[in-house]
Chains A and B, each alone.
Chain A
Amino acid sequence: MDDDLTALEITVNGKRRSATVDRRELLIEALRNRFGVTGPKIGCLTGDCGACTVRLDGLITKSCLRIAVAEDGAEIETLESMSTNGLTGLQESFWDNNAFQCGYCLSGMLFAAEDLLDHNPTPDEDEIRQAISGNLCRCTGYDAIVTAIKRYAERVAESDRRQ
């Protein structure tokens, strides 16, 4: 119904975009259906699994817990923007350590890991587990993800020490 439709303008991965969205639409739905951004996935729509995690105005958030029209004017980054200049060191570490199997949780896990390292560049294993505990993974049993984050952080710390 036309009453349900409204204009939304947001910045997605550095590009100003606009679309007509349904007022009922969640941010994740708008990103996927209106803007063709499929990096974030839908796993639960209740904020439990974290597969839909994106960066919104610099902070990571579960995009299924936000109504699209409420985010008018927001700047959003998704998995699509992470490797603009080639894979990041963190991404390489995920790949090297087999930190994703089916890949469905990958986008959310990478954002959770990035966020952790932004705040704590040298996390221990418990801190890493805590940081990714808002995100569910059914394939890996988490160990490979923890290893990927830990090894990457250690490598960065090592190269910082050398400089």
Chain B
Amino acid sequence: MEVGLRTAGKSVGRPVRKHDGDAYLTANATYTGDIVLPGTVYAALVRAPLAHALIRSVSTAAAEGATGVIAVVTGEDMIPWCDEIPHGLDAGHLGGHHSAVFPLAVEKVVYAGEPIAAVVATSEADAHAACLMVEVDYEPLPVLLDVESALAADAPILYPAWAENVLIEGHVGNDDFAEVARTAPHVLEGELRTHRGTAAPMEPRTYLADWDAGRQHLTLYASTQNPHVLRTVLAAAMRLREDQIHVVAPKVGGSFGLKMYGSREDFIAPVLARMVGRPVSWVEERAASLLPAAREQVLSYRVAFDDDGGLLALDVEALTDHGAAAPTHGWAMAYVGALSTGLGYAIEHCHVHYRVVVTNKAPWSGTKPFGKDGATLLLERIMERVAAATGVDAGTVRRRNFVAPSAFPYRHTSGLELDSGDYAAALDQTLEILSHERLRADQARLRAQGRYLGIGLGFELMPESADIPGGFVAAYDTSTVRMSPSGRVSVLTGVTSPGTGSDTGICQLVADELGVALDTVSVVQGDTDTCPYGFGNISSRSLVTGGNAAVLAARDVADKIRAAARALLRADYDEPVLIEDGIARLTRDPSRSVSVVEAARAVYTRSYELELDVEPHLESTRTYRPSNIREVPDALGRMQTYTTYPYAVHASVVEVDVETGVVTLLRHVATHDCGTVVNPLMVDGQVTGGVVMGLGAAFSEELVFDDDGIPLTTGFKTYLLPRAVDVPRVELGHLCTPAPGTPLGAKGVGEAGFAGALAAAFNAVNDAVAPLGARLDRTPLSPIAIMRALREARR
């Protein structure tokens, strides 16, 4: 279904290139690590070599005497300077447990790699060298490395005050599976295990903190997704007023969730800078940036369905291997996974019991696509199993269960309310691009020759632009549009862009609303002193929230340009004015016109000629707050906490070498719908990047530990991101169902691609090995895992 663009303008909807691309190409894009301040000193961290231990003592004397060392700071030393880190979403306030986390560990370490002390020195090399001279006496404690051991009756308790190893648990949907299952024609059960992975942006977390003791003022340059909220939490923990802190997020080298505000790492440089009174630079080493994690779950499911493959009820027990407790939102990925389970399929009885289990690994930390990946993989696995059990084609099973376009608004059992889309149309388009029937014939022919081709589908539905009641994640954001006397337009916005292109999209939107050329518009973001307070980039929100706000603000400014044009043209106050190509014309007599530049100048310089109710400034600040969010729970405790619901149907084609377990990815197709497309170049870039990240998660990216909980994946030789040769060109299809009730009609696209690609690849490999009786119920799909499955099948 091609609905077309709601906002078709001079630049919206067109493949406009990055508005500041030349800065990147000429090495003039400044990242945090490129900034130099005079007198800067460098921090490095002493990290725990054990996954669980008491810190008996820390001896810093030798390190303090080492070359270039300015200070050695232990966890205890830092306490007077920094309170415990404020939680993004405190499980302790939601029926779970509170955890007190400081930038540096105090008394006890709960994961290998946990920072326990910091060295500040005049060079990075000296700081790292001196870290090796800090002597720490540890008393080892028993280590918990998986959910089963952590939940065992005799398990040691990681956080003694809790008396259990569960951070938080909860139910989403009604627990009525047994009742439905009694009369259901079929019931299947199973278990799906997903592995630990991480975001791994190319730029590690990077900070440069400058404390001005005279002014009692902190300037922090940080590779952060949320500069304003970072300022808020820094101020709280460092006992400063927010106006004593200026956070600047320069160009950010990718984030994917890792750079969400409020991790302990956010506090290292600012607190040290204040302690030593000099600018402190801290760059996370690659090995450490592979500690924060996501995705590791054990999902046990029971599903009831009819003879046609129609799902009647679903019950899921979701165990999350969270690792240690943390102040960030990481655990909420388990909750979002529960909220999203079954979303897009019309399942009347859907229940998820989620439990977030703590273990001696680094904590979960926000990672694209924020828990929706596990939910997607689970449902898509179930669809394949239901198809196999009923003999109904896998695509048909999905079609039978999809929420139909006529059913919107459709409230899922979790409370999320789907607003628009045509899932079956996306499936049809994907199958068409694939030439599905011909491919199935090829598959049959090749099987006869002993070659194992697999075709797998994956439907993803991503709730986007999240809102957390009471938390610093909001579905709204704010933008200012300002036009100077010479007609230049600046957009200052609370949203940020780590390269995703929402800034270019915002330029396009504002240029069209104002009827001016694209190159007259620039965007300022990532600066707490100049931009309106905002929530940055998370949850695919930047264009939807900041973009819609900029549209509203630009309309205000355009109204003033119209008023000024009327004044200059001596037209009546109600005379309609059309602005296009930088010219404001009277609609009824287009020969009477002034340029936007003249009109802008007149607003500033001829204010007494304007209509009396027009204030003589050319600026508007507006907040876009979507109307579909419901923070107040209904009688069943359900909320509607997401703004838009983009979706996609993926298909993967693989060949499995059954002698070696090696998978060759032959094709990947994805038909995607993110509503109004502001910039197809940027949208395709988001989807393709997400697909390849999802394929990496499916096949090669896995955080691995030894039996003592020591990470073995400490760099890109062991944590294997996909390289260009590992993946096929992604074939994209497009649909457009604009988001209803929004000025723009755009849906979030930043997390697109990942979950559907993971699911499609998973199903494709299973499809390939099915004729040999093999079945994989865990990720990653490594050659070893595939050989194991094939061996088990032969037994």
Query: A: which residues have CB within 8 A of B?
Result: 1, 4, 22, 24-25, 29, 32, 36-39, 41-46, 48-49, 51, 78-80, 82-83, 87, 91, 94-98, 100-107, 110, 125-126, 128-130, 132-133, 136-146
Enumerate chain B residues within 8 angstroms of A45, measured Cβ to Cβ: 285-286
Enumerate chain B residues within 8 angstroms of A95, measured Cβ to Cβ: 17-18, 21-22, 25
A138-B721, A139-B685 are known contacts. Are A101 and B729 too (CB-CB below 8 A)? no
A-facing mask of B40-79, CB < 8 A → 1, else 0? Answer: 0000000000000000000000000001100000000000
Enumerate chain B residues within 8 angstroms of A32, measured Cβ to Cβ: 33-34
Q: Which 9 pairs, one residue from A and one from B, show the smallest C-beta to C-beta distance?
A: A102-B499, A104-B253, A141-B692, A39-B27, A48-B716, A101-B499, A141-B688, A103-B24, A38-B34
Q: Which of B472-510 contact A (CB under 8 A)?
A: 498-501
Report Cα–Cα, A82/B22, bound state, in Å: 12
Q: Which of B267-296 contact A (CB under 8 A)?
A: 283, 285-286
Enumerate chain A residues within 8 angstroms of B721, measured Cβ to Cβ: 136, 138
Q: Which of A29, A101, A129 has most chain B Cβ within 10 Å?
A: A101
Contact B125 A24 (CB under 8 A): yes
A41-B33, A49-B716 are known contacts. Are A133 and B200 too (CB-CB below 8 A)? no
CB of A47, distance to nearest CB on chain B (Å):
9
Enumerate chain B residues within 8 angstroms of A51, measured Cβ to Cβ: 202
Query: B: which residues have CB within 8 A of A?
Result: 15, 17-18, 21-22, 24-27, 29-31, 33-34, 36, 67-68, 123-125, 200-204, 251-254, 256, 283, 285-286, 498-501, 681-682, 684-685, 688-693, 715-717, 721, 723-725, 727, 729-730, 753
Which of B27, B200, B682 is close to A78, meaning CB atoms less than 8 Å apart? B27
Report Cα–Cα, A82/B716, bound state, in Å: 28
Please name 15 pairs of A and B residues whose Cβ atoms are closer than 8 Å in the assembled complex, sorted by A.
A36-B36, A41-B202, A48-B716, A79-B25, A94-B25, A95-B18, A96-B17, A105-B202, A137-B202, A138-B202, A139-B202, A141-B693, A142-B727, A143-B688, A145-B724
Q: Is the interface of A mostly helix, strand, loop or mixed?
A: loop
Contact A98 B17 (CB under 8 A): yes
Enumerate chain B residues within 8 angstroms of A129, measured Cβ to Cβ: 724-725
A46-B286, A49-B202, A136-B716 are known contacts. Are A87 and B25 too (CB-CB below 8 A)? yes
CB of B754, distance to nearest CB on chain A (Å):
11
Enumerate chain A residues within 8 angstroms of B26, measured Cβ to Cβ: 79-80, 82-83, 87
Report Cα–Cα, A113/B729, bound state, in Å: 18
Enumerate chain A residues within 8 angstroms of B727, measured Cβ to Cβ: 141-142
Enumerate chain A residues within 8 angstroms of B688, measured Cβ to Cβ: 140-141, 143-144
Contact A22 B689 (CB under 8 A): no
Contact A139 B24 (CB under 8 A): no
CB of A136, distance to nearest CB on chain B (Å):
5
Enumerate chain A residues within 8 angstroms of B689, measured Cβ to Cβ: 101, 138-141
Contact B717 A46 (CB under 8 A): yes
A46-B286, A133-B724 are known contacts. Are A143 and B24 too (CB-CB below 8 A)? no
Chain A residue nearest in CB terms to B717: A48
Enumerate chain A residues within 8 angstroms of B31, measured Cβ to Cβ: 38, 41, 104
Chain A residue nearest in CB terms to B206: A42
Contact B501 A44 (CB under 8 A): no
CB of A104, distance to nearest CB on chain B (Å):
3
Enumerate chain A residues within 8 angstroms of B68, measured Cβ to Cβ: 1
Contact A41 B25 (CB under 8 A): no
Enumerate chain B residues within 8 angstroms of A142, measured Cβ to Cβ: 692, 723-724, 727
Q: Which of B33, B203, B285 has most chain A Cβ within 10 Å?
A: B203
Report Cα–Cα, A126/B716, bound state, in Å: 22
Contact B254 A141 (CB under 8 A): no
Report Cα–Cα, A49/B15, bound state, in Å: 29
Enumerate chain B residues within 8 angstroms of A37, measured Cβ to Cβ: 27
Report Cα–Cα, A146/B688, bound state, in Å: 13
- In the complex, besides A129-B725, A137-B724, A141-B690, 16 extra interface pairs with C-beta distance below 8 angstroms are A4-B67, A38-B31, A38-B33, A42-B33, A45-B285, A46-B717, A48-B715, A80-B26, A83-B25, A95-B18, A101-B254, A140-B692, A141-B753, A142-B724, A143-B729, A144-B688
Enumerate chain A residues within 8 angstroms of B204, measured Cβ to Cβ: 43
Report Cα–Cα, A38/B28, bound state, in Å: 9
Report Cα–Cα, A97/B716, bound state, in Å: 27
A38-B34, A46-B717 are known contacts. Are A103 and B253 too (CB-CB below 8 A)? yes
CB of B667, distance to nearest CB on chain A (Å):
13
Enumerate chain B residues within 8 angstroms of A96, measured Cβ to Cβ: 17
Enumerate chain B residues within 8 angstroms of A136, measured Cβ to Cβ: 202, 716, 721, 723
Contact B203 A43 (CB under 8 A): yes
Report Cα–Cα, A94/B753, bound state, in Å: 22
Contact B693 A138 (CB under 8 A): yes
Report Cα–Cα, A87/B203, bound state, in Å: 24
Contact A138 B256 (CB under 8 A): yes
Which of A44, A82, A98, A132 is close to B724, meaning CB atoms less than 8 Å apart? A132
CB of A43, distance to nearest CB on chain B (Å):
5
CB of B18, distance to nearest CB on chain A (Å):
7
Contact B202 A104 (CB under 8 A): yes
Enumerate chain A residues within 8 angstroms of B22, measured Cβ to Cβ: 87, 95
CB of A62, distance to nearest CB on chain B (Å):
12
Enumerate chain A residues within 8 angstroms of B724, measured Cβ to Cβ: 128-130, 132-133, 137, 142, 145-146
Enumerate chain B residues within 8 angstroms of A103, measured Cβ to Cβ: 24, 29, 251, 253, 499
Enumerate chain B residues within 8 angstroms of A141, measured Cβ to Cβ: 685, 688-693, 727, 730, 753
Contact B729 A125 (CB under 8 A): yes
Chain A residue nearest in CB terms to B26: A83
Contact A106 B24 (CB under 8 A): yes
Enumerate chain A residues within 8 angstroms of B15, measured Cβ to Cβ: 98
CB of B540, distance to nearest CB on chain A (Å):
14
Contact A46 B254 (CB under 8 A): no
Chain A residue nearest in CB terms to B680: A98
Contact A1 B717 (CB under 8 A): no
A48-B717, A137-B202 are known contacts. Are A146 and B685 too (CB-CB below 8 A)? no
CB of B231, distance to nearest CB on chain A (Å):
23
Enumerate chain B residues within 8 angstroms of A144, measured Cβ to Cβ: 684-685, 688
Report Cα–Cα, A43/B684, bound state, in Å: 25
Report Cα–Cα, A22/B123, bound state, in Å: 9
CB of B564, distance to nearest CB on chain A (Å):
36
Enumerate chain A residues within 8 angstroms of B33, measured Cβ to Cβ: 32, 38, 41-42
CB of B542, distance to nearest CB on chain A (Å):
13
Chain A residue nearest in CB terms to B694: A141
Report Cα–Cα, A136/B602, bound state, in Å: 52
Contact A80 B27 (CB under 8 A): yes
Enumerate chain A residues within 8 angstroms of B256, measured Cβ to Cβ: 138
Which of B17, B21, B36, B201 is close to A102, meaning CB atoms less than 8 Å apart? B201
Report Cα–Cα, A145/B721, bound state, in Å: 17
CB of B354, distance to nearest CB on chain A (Å):
29
CB of A28, distance to nearest CB on chain B (Å):
11
Which of A29, A80, A130, A140 is close to B725, meaning CB atoms less than 8 Å apart? A130
Contact B27 A38 (CB under 8 A): yes
Enumerate chain A residues within 8 angstroms of B715, measured Cβ to Cβ: 44, 46, 48
A87-B22, A95-B18 are known contacts. Are A139 and B254 too (CB-CB below 8 A)? yes
Report Cα–Cα, A143/B732, bound state, in Å: 11
Enumerate chain A residues within 8 angstroms of B692, measured Cβ to Cβ: 140-142
Report Cα–Cα, A41/B32, bound state, in Å: 11
Contact A44 B682 (CB under 8 A): no
Enumerate chain B residues within 8 angstroms of A48, measured Cβ to Cβ: 715-717
Contact B27 A102 (CB under 8 A): no
Report Cα–Cα, A128/B723, bound state, in Å: 12
Contact B253 A98 (CB under 8 A): no
Chain A residue nearest in CB terms to B253: A104
Enumerate chain A residues within 8 angstroms of B125, measured Cβ to Cβ: 22, 24-25
Chain A residue nearest in CB terms to B129: A24
CB of A41, distance to nearest CB on chain B (Å):
7
CB of A33, distance to nearest CB on chain B (Å):
8
Enumerate chain B residues within 8 angstroms of A1, measured Cβ to Cβ: 67-68
Enumerate chain A residues within 8 angstroms of B693, measured Cβ to Cβ: 138, 141
